[in-house]
Structure 1
Amino acid sequence: MKALRPALLAAIGLLAACSPQKKEAAPGPGQRTAIRFATDWRAEAEHGGFYEALAEGEYAKRGLDVTLIQGGPGVNVSQLVASGAVEMGDGSNSFLVMNLARQKVPVKAVAAFMQKDPQVLIVHPDQGINSIADLRGHPILLSDAAIGDFWVWLKAKFGFKDEQVRKYTFNSAPFLADKRVAQQGYLTSEPYTIEKQSGLRPKVFLLADEGYPGYAAMVLASDKLIASNPAAVKAFVEASAKGWRDYLYGDPKPADALIMKDNPEMTADVLAQAREKMKAYGIVDGAEAKTLGVGAMTDARWKSFFDMASGAGVYPKDMGYKAAYTLQFLPAPTAAK
């Protein structure tokens, strides 16, 4: 499992090697609209709501014939959506989506199923580190992708320096070997695997709880699909929202069965702990989703993210950042914000 969804170039032919998970349902009146949805990594709890909606027939009920296609190392979901290799995809983080606007890629985020980006910093429990601010001067293991996104926010907010960065290769051995070192991670992944493998229970700091404004698990759709079949996009968002609520607070077994079928390396204990973390930290239904519903996005939140990133010099301050997303497929109270 990984801490950060990498955004690397992918060959379209990689789709053929990915394992599509498709559950047949009795067709309703008329032909259902085919939607291939590419996830950003191999099947896991972080995709649970999509798998739950598929397993429960929520997509089929709304006239969709959905196929979930696993991602993995080297898969660029945005590229797949933009090229038409898939109809929709899973946008890992707000930098990825904002980059679409900067590069004028005709793809938009239409919903955000994680109100809090699950990125965390992980530290040893006995080093007197009680907040992210205490990490000034400490070595921090970061991937190349992390340096281009949330590291920008960490430097701006906490005054961290590039000299602190150490190369992270998605292996926790260097972290375990040096108590002064901090490591990036995903709330639902690395803290659990570190404890399970080493017996060390690390301290974990969720960036979102320190003010990091990014969304995660966003649904991406091409401008072409939005214009030609807005009903299908809306149906996918509605069904996915139902799937996420059911995965967290209903019976997750149907989704977990499909996840483990797609990804035989996944285990029930990893899925269960990830689900509990998502509930405990309000990853899916916290923040704006408390009042606006699962999948919510707002103009105010996107402006906050853009102001942070452009203020740090990542984007031109006059960039048309609103091209990165649309609120038209969300409930009316959100669209009115």
Structure 2
Amino acid sequence: MTRTVLTLASLLVALPAAAQDPTPVTFGTNWLPQAEHGGYYQALADGTYEECGLDVTIAPGGPQVNNRALLLAGKIQFHMGGNLLQAFSAANEGIPLKVVAAHFQKEPQVIMTHPGEGFDTWESLTEVPTLFLGENGYQSYYQWMMDAYGFKAEQRKPYTFNPAPFLADKKSGQQGYVTSEPYAIEQAGGFVPNIFLIADYGFDTYATTVEVMSSLIEEDPEAVQCFVDASALGWTTYLYGDASAGNALILEANADMTQDQIDFSIAKMKEYGIVDSGESETVGIGAMTAERIEGFYEKMVAAGVAPEGIELTDIYTLDFVNKGVGVDLKKELTQ
């Protein structure tokens, strides 16, 4: 165990003492191993989960994997949600699922444009002739963009996750994640695209949430608390300390990942405050507030993305977050 983990374990009473035999649990991610999952791999690598009593297995997602279905079926205990829209949908379907933490304070979704083509401000994007957007994006955040800012349906052309059409058309825009697609454009196109993080313009969902079934909260709240706290510590170390142990696990688990891509992703997460900004800076990574969840829900109802009448307290709990876990560690690591 590293000095940092030992120091933290001695200071934080929030983490329960580890049992003789750690409880085995599985955390299903929503994509292949990458830096955007780094805090979890870091907590696994440096023993932070084990320190508070969990034997965690990380089950990667991917094109042919539906870890959310495994959560609903009781096959895994923790699941990485994309954003709050999934939880709204679950509540509408009567699924007893709760969000217990949000490790991304900002949705990493961006719109990119070519520099110097007249589309260098958010306001100018409503005049971009073509925006390459996937179906999920068109049905979710783009509906909000049309409602809130006047974007038009006819601007959209399908995005097939191939950047070639965007690279060929300098008067176009393309969706992406701030941690990923801009890097691909820089490598393939030889230029740095304009980046517009939609979270900074009002799409203020929490993202990379931790979802559990309500039954787990009732049956083993200590395991939930351990996972939430240890993940916050893992993310703090991953962003502000030595991330090499977490990165080694990511590279081992994903043969297509590179250290250059990881470095780019970490830099963008820090630059844009994806993981740590706003409330999380004072109450710890994973922070959530009822006001923000309610405000986002109202926007999505207005845009026709979420159904009316959801009882929001059914979809989340604040019992496991906002306890300041990792705040002192961040100060120690950044001094």
Contact in 2 for aligned 1:114/1:217 (Cα 8 Å):
yes
Mapped contact 2:144–2:305 kept (Cα < 8 A): no
Match of 1:285 in 2: 276
Question: 2:261 maps to which residue?
Answer: 270
In structure 2, how many angstroms separate the alpha carbons of the residues matched to 1:218 and 1:320?
A: 19
Q: What is the deviation of 1:74?
A: 3.9
CA–CA separation in structure 1 for the residues paired with 2:47 and 2:252: 17
Determine the structure 2 residue equivalent to 1:82: 72
Matched, 1:324 2:311: no
Does residue 183 of the first structure (1) align with residue 162 of the second (2)? Answer: no
Pairing of 1:287-326 with structure 2 (within 5 A) = 287-326=278-317
Query: Is 1:36 aligned with 2:46?
Result: no
Letter in 1 for 2:169: D
Letter in 2 for 1:222: M
Aligned to 1:107: 97
Name 1:245's counterpart in structure 2: 236
**1:35-90, CA deviations, whole angstroms, 9 ceiling, x for partnerless residues?**
10011100000000000000000000010010001100143332221111211110
Q: 1:235 aligns with which of 223, 226, 234?
A: 226
Q: Distance in 2 between matches of 1:28 and 1:136?
A: 54
Partner amino acid, structure 1, of 2:113: V
- Partner residue in 2 for 1:144: 135
- In the alignment, which of 239, 247, 258 is matched to residue 249 of structure 2? 258
Contact 1:311 1:317 in 2 (8 A): no
Cα distance between partner residues in 2 of 1:332 and 1:61:
18
1:159-174 matches, within 5 Å, as 159-174=150-165
Distance across 2 between alignment mates of 1:287 and 1:35: 30
Q: What is the identity, as a one-letter code, of the residue corresponding to 2:175?
A: Q
| Structure 1 residue ranges without an equivalent (≥5) | 1-26
Q: What RMSD, in angstroms, separates the aligned Cα atoms of the two structures?
A: 1.6
2:114 is matched with which residue? 124
Which residues of structure 2 form unaligned runs of 5+? 1-16, 326-335
Q: In structure 2, the residue corresponding to 1:302 is in which secondary structure?
A: helix
Distance 1:48 1:63 in 2: 20
| TM-score, structure 2 as length reference | 0.89
Deviation per CA, 1:128-150, whole angstroms, max 9, x where unpaired? 11222211142111111111211
User: Is the Cα contact below 8 Å between 1:37 and 1:68 reproduced in 2?
Assistant: yes
Instruction: Report the alpha carbon displacement of residue 33 of structure 1 after superposing the two structures with TM.
Output: 1.1
- Cα deviation for residue 332 of structure 1 reads 4.9
Aligned positions, number: 308
> Which amino acid counterpart does residue 213 of structure 1 have in structure 2?
D
1:292 touches 1:331 (CA, 8 Å); kept in 2? Answer: yes
CA contact (8 A) 1:77 1:91 kept: no
Structure 1: which amino acid aligns with 2:306? Y
- Following the alignment from structure 1 to structure 2, what is the Cα–Cα distance between the partners of residues 233 and 113? 14
- Runs of 4+ in structure 1 off by over 6 angstroms are none
Distance 1:317 1:106 in 2: 18
Greater Cα shift, 81-90 or 240-249: 81-90
CA distance in 2, matches of 1:129, 1:304: 29
Q: Determine the C-alpha separation between the residues in 1 that align with 2:46 and 2:176.
A: 31
